Structure 1
Amino acid sequence: MESFVLFRGSKRLTLKEDDMTAEKISRIFQVQGPSLFITDDNNVALFPEASGHFNSSALVGRGHYEVHGENIYMGESATAAPATAPQVRFAFHRPPSAAAGSATAHGHTRAAKTFQRNIFIAEVVDGKLETRKTLTVRFSEFEASVTGMTNKVSSDFDEEYSLVLTDGQGNRLVDSEGTRGSTFWKQNSRKIFAVKEEDLLQLQVSKRRRLSRREDGGLIDVLDKIEEVVLAAQGLQDVSSTMKDLMDMVSSNIRRVFLSEAQAAAVKQAFTCIICQGPVVEPMVSTCCQSLIGCRSCTEEWQKNSIFCPKCRADDFGHNMQRLTGISDALSVFKDLLWE
């Protein structure tokens, strides 16, 4: 049979399960029966059932329980109070909010569990959220929602204006399945800000402007690159003209072209790969010096070991390279004429 330790003040004793009745406990500890109740180590109140016995299923063997209740006044009658002290029946007085958040089972009452988290009162400075004040909010499970937390913050805040809850990036929190319940709100690692509604609108406008500038900046970079390619093409105007003449020769089935040594040397130098010193294959031009650099395979191999242009030594060589297409036949003629 289980036993339980009961105490009140300095008085302490152990009772068996059969002795856990309101009548015996009230006599032992001189407590008026109607007001008698006990509390466990978690300060949970336990009351006797209608039969006068305490429910053994709600008790823990060898557990310690403190006895509470109105004292019995000692006088002519051990059970009656003096006339000058009218007997008042013991009763709990709980506010409606506490009653709504409590549950009664097996004759004992539990208070609603509460949580707390920090809410950062912020304002918008230079398009960013700046914390002005930190507010610690206590809330229960049924208050754990965007609406409930907004009301809690507004009631704890002195100034009168509409507040909006946002995440750390300034995105407005909306009521959804993910934002309902204490699981979301009790995580203090997730920063939550409260800002004025007009400040949030200002922040959103600022974010849109930054995004617009970023997109425009990307377009400007593209236009600059196109301009560089155009300039490079303009610098190769003479080369393009020579290529056209050579293409005309091919079309006319001219197999041999007689050039002076100086002319041959100039043309050969113009279409020699700077890297391998052979005839250019799949020519690549550079926007940094607006020149024909050399073979595609040679320039790709060069980029593996150097970021500098092999001709003008400008850096960022890989981004300055452009492929020159449509002249394969002309280059084939050069090879036949000058590299036999």
Structure 2
Amino acid sequence: MDGRDTMESSGDDFTAIASTFHLYNDNKRLTITSKDLSRKRVELIFQLEEESIYLEDDITRETFFPTPHGSFQTLLMRDRGSFRVWGREKFQQAVLNPAPYTGPRSHFTPPASTSTSTFIPPACRPPAQQSSTFQNPGRKNKSFRRKIYLADVEDDGDISAYTSVHVTINEGTGVQAIATTVQEYINSSDAFTMCDSKGVPISDSAETKDLEFWKTPSRKIYAIKNTDISKLTRNSSKKRRLEADTPETVKTTLANIEETLKVELKGVESTISGMIEEKMTELAAVVNQAKVTQVAILQNMQDAVQNLGAEATVTKCLKEAFICKICTNLPSTVVVVAACCGQIVGCGACVQTYLENNDDCLLCKSTMFGNKLVFLRGVSEILLKLSVA
């Protein structure tokens, strides 16, 4: 639902009040609203048998049949679209079963008569009974249903078709009248010009008023907006200017372009060779410098490794010298030295614990161990660094 207006529904009757449709056949054409569109009204206006009526969309080629209630499902129909009315005419039925005319009097109604003959309306008369004033009985009205493409014109002048319509063309119809019919079919405010497949406008002539011109199947007919015709004109002028160039001029131009390209290619080749040689020289210098730098780095690394090895040896020797012979850890505060043998015993706390149960030296077994001990203080920072290393 697109919200155009209020919708009414009754059974199978669905009607959009604001919708309008263009109905036509070979004899009549009218515009009708969806509220008034019904099978009975179409029957009366177009004089068709009720059970044979249906509508066909000119653009989508969809067909729409009336519902059992006699209405059309207008919600499914294209708003302001053009629909052809199909069905069997009431002509034969009216001739076989003539009925007295009882409608209102008009200029078509014959004067009252006492005759027992029955009056048949002009729309229901057979061809032989119609007046020769309005139609020549020896000439049949000719028409042809032609497919016409609606197209846009691109900026480069190419024609691009985007849809098509089927238009009924009568004998003697002018080209402008056909363009107007196309405009009415699609309900457009833009005027159209009829053109052939090359974009050349078709003008009125004796040939175009003959149906044989429109019946040619190989001829494509385009309807192009008048605002786009100027694009076709500009494109045609460019083509004429290009056609004005002689083959000799084209050959000379191509030869000049070829020579110019050769000279430019030689210059480009020389420039590229010089750039490559310069870059190779720079690259060689960079590689040589990188080699020197790498050798220096490797030498420095070798020296650093040797220094680290020496430092590691000294650190190991110091750790072995200062290590506590009782707890096998580096002393954290005081280092105890045995005066009897002059060797480092270890931590002050560990030596104190050892003396509670022993009197002889744990290194040289002297009995004078407990009486002569030397305490080294102020070496805690050195011992701390050795413990971290």
With the length of structure 1 as denominator, give the TM-score of the two structures: 0.36
The structure showing larger relative contact order (alpha-carbon pairs under 8 Å, at least 6 residues apart) is 1
Whose Rg is larger? 2
